[in-house]
């Protein structure tokens, strides 16, 4: 278990589609060590999630966890630690929500993206079992952000209005209160 360096925007591996993991290899020491390193690195950086290519490993593995009062995203409802391998996301309807996002691979920048509110996530878990879950609200947005990484997509690419880009300090000064008020009401309505 090791805290690894997180690659930042401009590194080519972040722009490559990560490869499928052979489901018979999920129990291998290599994949299990990768999962452990992803968890350690995500927690060390106070992230809400981390994809394998963010630490330079081009395979379709990501971890997601939101602890209560996460310092980067205190308004996000908690998400228990979840490992997704070869995840496939399918929107369940056309409902979208505008979310102000950041990313450990894009230091000191945030921007507004629209995400699907209701999605189905099919994946393998860390034991190689198939999983088929419905995710909603901000939690669905977090899963979409991490799965985008595995396709070489960053939140930057999904920002429709570039004037929403802010540093974290300017977001705290000028954007956070309004966003948190709106998104808290949304979370109360959707439940996650």
Q: Are 138 and 76 in contact (CB under 8 A)?
A: yes
- Candidates 14, 103, 119, 150; binder of Zn ion (CB under 5 A) is 103
Nearer Cβ to Zn ion (35/103): 103
Catalytic-residue membership of 101: no
Nearer Cβ to Zn ion (35/64): 64
Cβ of residue 4: shortest distance to Zn ion, in angstroms?
Answer: 15
Nearer Cβ to Zn ion (157/177): 157
- DSSP class of residue 171 equals I
Cβ of residue 29: shortest distance to Zn ion, in angstroms?
Answer: 26
Catalytic choice (33, 146, 178, 181): 146
Contacts of the segment 115-120: beta carbons below 8 A, 24+ positions apart: 115/140, 115/141, 115/144, 115/145, 116/91, 116/92, 116/140, 116/141, 116/144, 117/93, 117/190, 118/91, 118/92, 118/93, 119/89, 119/90, 119/91, 119/92, 119/143, 119/144, 120/89, 120/90, 120/92
Nearer Cβ to Zn ion (42/103): 103
Which tokens is 168 given? 């974290």
Q: Cα separation of 111 and 90, whole Å?
A: 23
Number of chain residues interacting with Zn ion (CB under 5 A): 1
Stretch that binds Zn ion, among 24-32, 67-75, 98-106, 178-186 (CB under 5 A): 98-106
Stretch that binds Zn ion, among 4-12, 20-28, 95-103, 114-122 (CB under 5 A): 95-103
Catalytic residue IDs: 146
Where does this chain bind Zn ion (CB under 5 A)?
103
């Amino acid at each position: 278990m090791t805290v690894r360096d997180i690659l930042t925007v401009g590194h080519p591996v972040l722009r490559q589609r990560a490869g499928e993991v052979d489901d018979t290899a999920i129990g291998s020491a290599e994949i299990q060590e990768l999962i452990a390193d992803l968890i350690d690195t995500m927690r060390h950086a106070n992230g809400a999630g981390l994809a394998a290519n963010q630490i330079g490993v081009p395979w379709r593995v990501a971890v997601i966890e939101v602890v209560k009062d996460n310092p980067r995203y205190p308004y996000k409802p908690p998400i228990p630690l979840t490992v997704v391998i070869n995840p496939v996301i399918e929107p369940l309807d056309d409902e979208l929500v505008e979310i102000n996002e950041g990313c450990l691979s894009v230091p000191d920048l945030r921007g507004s993206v629209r995400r699907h509110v209701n999605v189905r996530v099919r994946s393998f878990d860390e034991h190689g079992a198939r999983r088929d879950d419905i995710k909603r609200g901000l939690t669905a947005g977090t899963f979409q952000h991490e799965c985008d990484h595995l396709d070489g997509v960053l939140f930057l690419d999904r920002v429709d209005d570039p004037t929403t880009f802010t540093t974290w300090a300017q977001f705290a000064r000028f954007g956070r209160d309004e966003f948190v008020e709106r998104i808290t009401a949304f979370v109360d309505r959707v439940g996650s």
